[in-house]
Amino acid sequence: MTHLTELSLSEGLAKLNAGELSAVDWTQAYLDRITQTDPAIHAYLTVTDTLALEQARQADEARARGEQLPLLGVPIAIKDAISTKGIETTCGSKILAGYRPVFNATAVERLLQAGAIMLGKVNLDEFAMGSTTENSAYGVTRNPWNLEHVPGGSSGGSGAAVAGGLAAASLGTDTGGSVRLPGSFCGISALKPSYGRVSRFGLIAYGSSLDQIGSLGWTVEDVTRVMQVMAGHDPKDSTSMRLDVPDYLAQLGDSIRGMKLGIPKEYFIEDAIQPEVLRAIRAGITQLEQLGAEIVEISLPHTEYCLSAYYIIAMSEASSNLARYDGIRFGAKINKDDMWDSYRATRGQGFGEEVKRRILIGTYTLSAGYYDAYYGKAQAVRTLVKQDFDRAFESVDAIVTPVAPTTANRFGSASSDPMQMYLMDVFSVSANLAGIPGMSIPCGFDDAGLPIGMQLLGAQFKEETLIKLGHAYQQVTDWHTHRPKPIHA
């Protein structure tokens, strides 16, 4: 018998709607699992158990009155970079210890209005800067498939919470792959929307022109249900697009026969990819072809410049965005006799090493005499990358690639060498540079039993294409049904 915490969001929602399960019972099952196993995984930074049970009680009463809401009674975890009213929001940093926003992020508010239940806030690389969740000031998060391996990052807590049976779904953020990488490493589905499709209001900024809030769950249907609720224009976010939101759920079950899928030759360099990952992705492509899709090779010629351009832009924007954390308005403060000494002490002790490294690099690339050589040139490369994708989507409906060159690495193997950590993002940053949607879906396991994710990329504001494609794949495969062995703390 399937344990309540092993249900997908869609399975649990079906049971709620059929009267076979109460929101209180489902929520309590997750809270019990968190108590039992999260000391070993450390996905959560804050567990809002009293609030969650009260929201669950209200959800059951609403359902009894006949109310119908898209996520009524569904327990969800929220990445700790997303503002939650009255609930500590640290961004994984000591500099924001004790910070409690006075408002909810728009994405959170829309989930709550749709009936979702907030289980708590989950761990991340500090200020979303990292690919392994080793950079959090509050300890590492471990991969439920193997506790000696990372869950990916920066939304590692979001990925581990779903894979560990600690939430039915979760919200993460994706600046250069931070939703898709944990999706791949944790064996779950993850969707990064197009830039401007989901409001960024209330998201604590890392790279403002790159950040997006995304969803993680066991299945494509799960992340679609969350996406359907979050998407849409928000006047509080100047980058939010005034576009109609398609009925994403209506795409579930549609045939992919006749769709053209591009395979970029620049993403399939055998020497650069773990052999099991390459085999799994190729097997996934074959499966899509058997479903009626046409496979064509394409070229994205500026791919080799993506990683460099991404890190210059991201670090430059981080340098600007994180200047506000000076101990004056909110967060930690270390008092000194001189104002500038207070600034230096607060920022020097409040920020972790990786954050300080990125601020320093970003400040350099924005400085007089270097702006045009670095930031300006990186933005020019970004335009070329977007043009590559625009041309590709004139002839194909979607693009298929690996999410990452390897499966989840062991702790310490990347954090000790920042360049190794940055290289994990080599296949994912291009989607953020171009502002297009990306999805990770489980497609296999390596010889050590660690999950492998396949990446689907679509044209801007064509999330429905990825949803249709990913769901069709999951109807004929069972990778998304696998669960890690139970963990006992």
> What are the residue numbers of the active site?
79, 154, 178
Strand partners for 192: 438
How many angstroms from the chain centroid is the CA of residue 285?
Answer: 23
What does DSSP assign to residue 263? E
Residue (of 322, 309, 308) closest to 354 by Cα position: 322
Do the Cβ atoms of 400 and 285 come closer than 8 Å? yes
- Name residue, tokens 């344990």: 3
Q: For residue 402, report the phi and psi dihedrals to the nearest 5 degrees.
A: -70, 160
CB atoms closer than 10 angstroms to residue 34: 25
Nearest to 363 by CA among 408, 395, 315: 315
CA distance 399 to 298: 9
Q: Which of 451, 368, 462, 382 is nearest to 181 (CA)?
A: 451
Token couple for 364: 């350099």
Neighbour-count burial of 435, counting CB atoms closer than 10 A to its CB (0-12 exposed, 13-18 middle, 19+ buried)? buried
**DSSP for 204-236?**
PPSSTTT--EEEEESSHHHHHHHHHHHBS--TT
Q: Cα–chain-centroid distance for residue 461?
A: 18
Helix (H, G, I), strand (E, B) or coil at 268: coil
Could you give the CA distance from residue 250 to residue 284 in angstroms, rounded to a whole number? 24
Q: What share of the chain is helix, strand, coil (3-state, %, to 5)?
A: 45, 15, 45
Write the burial class of residue 253 (CB in 10 Å: 0-12 exposed, 13-18 middle, 19+ buried): exposed
Three-state SS at 238: coil
Whole-angstrom Cα distance, residue 162 to residue 168? 6
* Cβ neighbours of residue 72 closer than 8 Å, sequence gap 6 or more: 16, 23, 59, 62, 63, 114, 115
